[in-house]
A and B are shown apart, each in its own frame.
Chain A
Amino acid sequence: MLRISVSRIRSHIFFSGRHVQQCRYGASSLRCMSTESNSTARDSSRPADLKSSASGSHSNNNLAKRMKELGITVEDLQREHERRKQLKNRTSGYYALSLLIGTLALSYASVPFYRLLCQKTGWAGTPIAETGKITADRLIPVESNRKITIRFESDVSRSLPWKFEPLQRQVTVTPGETALAFYKATNLSNQDIIGVATYNVTPDQVAPYFSKIQCFCFEQQQLRAGEQVDMPIFFFIDPEFDTDPQMKHIREVVLNYTFFKAKTNASGQYLTIPDAAGNEIAGQIPIQVSSSGV
């Protein structure tokens, strides 16, 4: 109401041509130097002369009177208005700035956050990081007798002169049941070569449920010249696969192993390991798994 009446009050006071005292209008209190009684007496006659067409003129007059009593000037009001507007602008400016910074921060944090979320929930085929050893209670076949056919496929990198193939076309398992399968690798060249294998599970959604107890992947495997060796995989599909509604229609899973050539530097340390696309990425020194007694 104060805002609407400011202009009206302004016209009203200019009519009277007289200002009230210079007062300091603070946040919640007024401090005036002195008061003049004659001005109030003079101005009180004026309100009747005003031609105010607005319906709120009566309240305007009361407001003007009150203002004079308190010693507030229009300039004070204007100043206050300006100050408040500035404050509001500054506040909205701060809000906008904080929103901008928040959006920037979110866009930077979204990458690791997405990765973390995928790891925990297994979205988009991300295998759920196993928190502990595979315990015996997960190795009990589910009672529903659900059958899943696992097809085995193999691939060899072009730079690796090996022959690499599965020894069985497919195996049918039920979730929770362990299965043993074999691949055979032959070193066709006349040199000792070290290869590293990686695997892929299709369809992607099955990946979190495909658990390997033991296999031949991710470790360097050396084949002497002309050597042929059998490589086993011991795996199972997690029993929770059976209760997942998204997996209801999956009957076939394709397991594909690919062998790449491992590279070493002069001292025999592994520098780069090829990734799934065949590009070489910086690799760690593979951990040697020691069998018992060796």
Chain B
Amino acid sequence: MSYGGASGNAKVFKPTPPDRGSFPLDHDGECKQHMQVYLDCLRSSRTRDRVPTDCRLLAKQYLNCRMERGLMLKDDWINLGLPDDKTRTNTGKPDSNMK
């Protein structure tokens, strides 16, 4: 898609499309719960620090929810930069097969 400005402008910024395309919209709010838990975790943590691992795990659960409901292409967690499912965490969902 061409969103570029004038060609002579030195400050032209060309947005690039995302690597995996667009998230399909969650019209039915199927994963809203996970999103809410994640956002609460973010708010409770200090925003000047890096996102804590707990919150990142919640983010992983949100994306997992999306994958299960066909709202996101399934992929290995390592390709998404999130901690792998190798270690079973007590709080998290049981490991799902990521094939």
Q: Which residues of A contact B (CB under 8 A)?
A: 111, 114-115, 124-127, 129-130, 133-136, 139-140, 145, 147, 149, 167-174, 176-180, 182, 198-201, 204, 207, 211-219, 221-224, 227, 229-232, 234, 236, 273, 275-277, 281, 283-284, 286-287, 289, 291-294
Question: How many cross-chain pairs have Cβ atoms below 8 Å apart between A and B?
Answer: 163
Expressed in whole angstroms, the minimum distance between the Cβ of A89 and any Cβ of chain B is 38
What chain A residues lie within 8 Å of B88 (beta carbons)? Answer: none
Please judge, given known A-B contacts A126-B14, A211-B19, A213-B80, whether A230 and B42 are in contact too, CB under 8 Å: no
A126 CB contacts on chain B under 8 angstroms: 12-14
B5 interface residue per 8 A CB criterion: yes
- Sorting the interface of chain B by its residue count into under 10, 10 to 19, 20 to 34 or 35 or more gives 35 or more
Pick the contact of A182: B17, B22, B39 (CB < 8 A): B39
By the criterion CB–CB under 8 Å, are B51 and A167 in contact?
Answer: no
A125 & B11 in contact (Cβ 8 Å cutoff): yes
Output the least CB separation between A45 and chain B (Å). 78
Q: A201-B13, A231-B23 are in contact. Are A180 and B70 (CB under 8 A)?
A: no
Residues on A with C-beta less than 8 A from B42 are 168, 171
Q: Are B73 and A292 in contact (CB under 8 A)?
A: yes
The smallest beta-carbon distance between B51 and chain A, in angstroms, is 6
In B42-64, the 8 Å CB interface with A consists of: 42-43, 47-51, 59, 62-63
Query: Once bound together, how far apart are the Cα atoms of A132 and B13, in whole Å?
Result: 21
Known: A172-B48, A176-B81, A289-B22. A127 touches B15 (CB 8 A): yes
**Contact residues of B with A, CB < 8 Å?**
1-3, 5, 7-8, 10-27, 29, 32, 35, 38-39, 42-43, 47-51, 59, 62-63, 70-74, 76, 78-82
In the complex where A198-B15, A277-B5 touch, is A216 in contact with B48 (Cβ < 8 A)? no
Do B39 and A172 touch (CB < 8 A)?
A: no
Q: A229-B26, A277-B5, A281-B2 are in contact. Are A292 and B70 (CB under 8 A)?
A: yes
Report B60 CB to chain A, min CB distance, Å: 9
Also in contact, A198 and B25, with CB within 8 A (given A149-B47, A236-B81): no
Q: Which residues of B contact A136 (CB under 8 A)?
A: 76, 78-79, 81
What is the bound-complex CA distance between A139 and B38, given in angstroms?
21
Question: If the complex has contacts A180-B62, A281-B2, are A229 and B78 also in contact, measured as CB distance less than 8 A?
Answer: no
Report the minimal beta-carbon distance from A205 to chain B, rounded to whole angstroms: 11
Q: How far is the CB of A197 from chain B (nearest CB, A)?
A: 9
Does A217 lie within 8 Å of B18, measured CB to CB? yes
User: Which of B19, B26, B72, B81 sits near A230, CB closer than 8 Å?
Assistant: B26
Q: What separation, in Å, do the CA atoms of A65 and B70 have in the docked complex?
A: 104
A106 to nearest B CB, angstroms?
A: 15
Nearest CB of chain A from residue B3's CB, rounded to whole Å: 5
B25–A204 CB distance below 8 A: no
Cα distance, A147 to B50, chains bound together (Å): 7
B39 contacts A168, C-beta separation under 8 Å: yes
Is there contact, CB below 8 Å, between A219 and B14? no
With A211-B19, A217-B15, A294-B24 given, can you name 10 additional A-B contacts, CB distance below 8 Å?
A125-B12, A147-B48, A170-B47, A173-B50, A199-B15, A214-B18, A231-B25, A283-B1, A289-B22, A291-B70
